[in-house]
Chains A and B, each alone.
Chain A
Amino acid sequence: MVLITLVSSDEQNFPVERELLKQSGTIETLIVNMNLDDEDTDAAAMPIPLPNVKGDVLEKVIQWMEHHKGDPVKEGDNEDNNAEIVVPQWDDDFFKPAMYGSKHLELTVAASYLDIKNLLTLSCKAISNTFKGKTGPQIREEWGVPNEFTPEEEEAIRKENEWSE
């Protein structure tokens, strides 16, 4: 089994099975550019630095990729339709402990940076699910966003939004 070492921004090393990394468009491109798939290249001696991903987040990303090993990898732009996406139970349980904390957001940003489309879609869907059926003030309360609007501004936006009620 070929292992490739990923190095997080806080310089933690993560040896990862080559096959898993096919889920990441960014890493796949780096592997190709660094010729790490060539038989003559000593992949173990050439770690891939990921300066935008912290160690604890990268660990979660790898954990997610391990669970989704063998899943079809999406290509092209993310054009998923809201109605078609369901967050599987395993992923829901995976995201839930950190859902309202910075770590889930960091995981989502890492999925975007690493171009792991399935993780990004499910992670964004999990976030969007927290907004479903909620009013603006309820979302503010849940996510700890301060209210910047005057009552008049709030009323004006509500009027603009009436068409969607």
Chain B
Amino acid sequence: MSLSTWTGSSDVNASTRKPIDFLNLPQNVLEDVFKLLDDRSLSQMREVSKFAKNSVDSSILNVRKTEILYEADSEAASVSSEWHHFIQSVAPPKFNCIIPVLKVSKQKIFRKILFIDSIKFLLNVADIVDVISIYVLNKSELARIFITLIREILNRRCTELHTCEMTHVLSQHDIKTILKIIHTMDKKVSFAGYAIPHESNVYSKVGAYQIEYPGYRGPRTGGTEISIKHVDFEG
């Protein structure tokens, strides 16, 4: 096969203008290319053409690892309109919302959202992001459904979940239940939270998951930090 046949271009030796538009690639392949671009190059891609701009904007949630810190507060009156705007923007995304989404891979976002009205919202977020951190002050409401919530969140796209001391302090029974749940999942996940101090709080391995107690104790509840992570988890 001659070089000119393979290259598919009659001016392959030309150093500048080439006649083929890479934007003809299928969307899934284009997203694979976008995943490999740094933020600046991805932004520059939006200046190439209208199609390129729309492709970047609509695929951004697929091509960037997105981390959102979810903060709930029983005193908050309603779900933040900004967050409603964020969710509404997901299909189809609009760039004024995409910019903060791009940024969340660099900086964490705190928003105060009423817990009890926000579970559905939180699960919607879990459908589109990889990492969620929950900070909830009204723990009495959350305690009733905490394990179910962990299961529902990790059953979605989210693979990494952090909860704070004030969200819920896990019992030994809770930890066993979480281990059972995550062992039934097809994916590798990571959970970090707080547990009631116990004499068995040492490093251990259960199935494909390692359990660590880094030693930090929460000042408000006395709960001790716990990390449950798949041995092959790459966060």
The interface residues of chain A lying within 8 Å CB-to-CB of B200 are: none
Q: Are A120 and B18 in contact (CB under 8 A)?
A: no
A20 interfacial contact with B, CB 8 Å:
no
Interface-centre pick from B29, B38, B44 (highest chain A CB count, 10 A): B44
Instruction: Choose, from B47-55, B77-85, B148-156, the stretch at the interface.
Output: B47-55
B-chain residues with CB within 8 Å of residue A79 when the two chains form the complex: 234
Assess whether B103 is in contact with A112, with CB atoms less than 8 Å apart.
Answer: no
> Which of A21-29, A34-42, A43-51, A127-135 participates in binding chain B?
A127-135
Whether B20 pairs with A144 at a CB distance below 8 angstroms is yes
- A140 CB contacts on chain B under 8 angstroms: 48-49
In angstroms, Cα B64 to Cα A82, docked, is 11
Closest residue on chain A to residue B234 by CB atoms: A79
Whether B140 is near chain A, meaning CB under 8 Å from some CB there, is no
**Chain A residue contacts of B145, Cβ below 8 A:** none
* B32 in contact with A141 (CB, 8 Å): no
Chain B residues with Cβ under 8 A from A142's Cβ?
A: 16-18
State the majority secondary structure of interface residues on A: helix
> Residue among A108, A121, A141, A143 with the most chain B CB within 10 A?
A143
A91 is an interface residue with CB less than 8 A from chain B: no
A120 nearest CB across to chain B (Å): 6
Task: Give the chain A neighbours of B26 by CB distance below 8 A.
Answer: 109, 112
Contacts of B28 in A (CB 8 A): 112
Interfacial chain A residues near B102, Cβ < 8 Å:
163-164
Q: A112-B26, A134-B41, A158-B47 are in contact. Are A101 and B36 (CB under 8 A)?
A: no
| Complex Cα spacing A156 to B17, Å | 26
Query: Is residue A89 within 8 Å, beta carbon to beta carbon, of the partner chain?
Result: no
Identify the closest chain B residue to A147 (Cβ). B49
Size range of the chain B interface in the assembly: 35 or more
> Are the CB atoms of B1 and A97 closer together than 8 Å?
no
Contact B45 A59 (CB under 8 A): no
Chain B residues with CB under 8 A of A97: 3, 6-7, 12
Q: Tally A residues with Cβ within 8 Å of B.
A: 51
Chain A contacts of B25 at CB under 8 A? 105, 108-109
| Contact indicator A103/B18 (Cβ below 8 Å) | no
Q: Are A108 and B29 within 8 A (Cβ)?
A: yes
Smallest beta-carbon distance A78→chain B, Å: 6
A149 within 8 A of B: yes
**Nearest-Cβ distance from residue A62 to partner chain B, whole angstroms:** 12
In the bound assembly, the distance between CA atoms of A78 and B3 in angstroms comes to 31
The answer to whether B44 and A136 have CB atoms under 8 Å apart is yes
B6–A161 contact, CB under 8 A? no
Q: Does B184 contact A (CB under 8 A)?
A: no
- Is A85 part of the contact surface with B, judged by Cβ < 8 Å? yes
Q: Does B75 contact A (CB under 8 A)?
A: no
Which residue in A101, A106, A135, A146 is a CB contact (below 8 Å) of B12?
A101
Query: Is there a chain A Cβ closer than 8 Å to B40's Cβ?
Result: yes
- The listed residue with most A CB atoms (<10 A of its CB), out of B20, B23, B42, B45, is B20
In the assembled complex, which residues on chain A have CB atoms less than 8 Å from the CB atom of B19? 144
In the bound complex, how far is the Cα of B37 from the Cα of A102, in angstroms? 21
Alpha-carbon distance A162/B16, docked complex (angstroms): 27
Task: Decide if B124 is an interface residue (CB 8 Å cutoff).
Answer: no
Q: Which A residues fall within an 8 A CB radius of B?
A: 56, 59-60, 78-80, 82, 85, 97-98, 100-103, 105-106, 108-109, 112, 120-121, 124-125, 127-128, 131-137, 139-149, 154, 157-158, 160-161, 163-165
Nearest 10 interchain pairs by C-beta: A136-B47, A100-B18, A101-B9, A103-B8, A161-B43, A128-B36, A102-B8, A101-B8, A164-B43, A98-B7
* Chain B interface (Cβ < 8 Å from any Cβ of A): 1, 3, 5-9, 12, 16-26, 28-29, 32-50, 52-53, 95-96, 99, 102-103, 234
